[in-house]
């Protein structure tokens, strides 16, 4: 049974294509064949081709295995690490919450 690829939003599709091109460029700069990288990543050559095309149906695990085989896995770990907007939103929520002190009745 063939897997269906999800249809990404246009911007997401462009980023996936760029990622695939970057992966292919990294592989060719290292003078590694597609067959060798696919073997090291534990996948078929068609799956590697799909990654290099930017196919949205490829799993993140497959992309991670390819990046690992190219020595680039640490780049994946940096994704969303410096989430400035997220930190600002979190700080705004923390600042808006003020601790309410309960007054104990005398007695």
Q: Is residue 73 part of a domain?
A: yes
Q: Is residue 1 part of a domain?
A: no
Contact 41, 48 (CB under 8 A): yes
Q: Is residue 3 part of a domain?
A: no
Q: Which domain holds residue 22?
A: 10-103
Supply the pLDDT for residue 5.
Answer: 60
Q: Is residue 93 part of a domain?
A: yes
Contact 45, 35 (CB under 8 A): yes
pTM, whole model, 2 decimals? 0.76
Supply the pLDDT for residue 1.
Answer: 45
| d(C-alpha 18, C-alpha 87), whole Å | 28
| d(C-alpha 69, C-alpha 26), whole Å | 11
CATH number at residue 16: 1.10.260.40
Report the domain count for the chain. Answer: 1
Q: Is residue 31 part of a domain?
A: yes
Contact 52, 85 (CB under 8 A): no
Supply the pLDDT for residue 22.
Answer: 98
Mean pLDDT in runs of 10 for the chain (107 residues)? 70 97 98 98 98 97 98 92 86 74 69
């Amino acid at each position: 049974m063939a897997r269906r690829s999800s249809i990404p939003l246009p911007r997401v599709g462009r980023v996936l294509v760029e990622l695939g091109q970057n992966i292919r460029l990294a592989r060719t700069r290292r003078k590694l064949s597609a067959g060798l990288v696919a073997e090291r990543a534990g996948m078929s050559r068609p799956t590697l081709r799909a990654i290099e095309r930017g196919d949205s149906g490829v799993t993140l695990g497959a992309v991670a295995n390819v990046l690992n085989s190219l020595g680039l896995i640490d780049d994946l770990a940096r994704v969303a690490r410096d989430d400035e907007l997220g930190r600002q939103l979190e700080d705004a929520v923390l600042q808006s919450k003020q601790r309410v002190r309960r007054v104990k009745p005398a007695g």
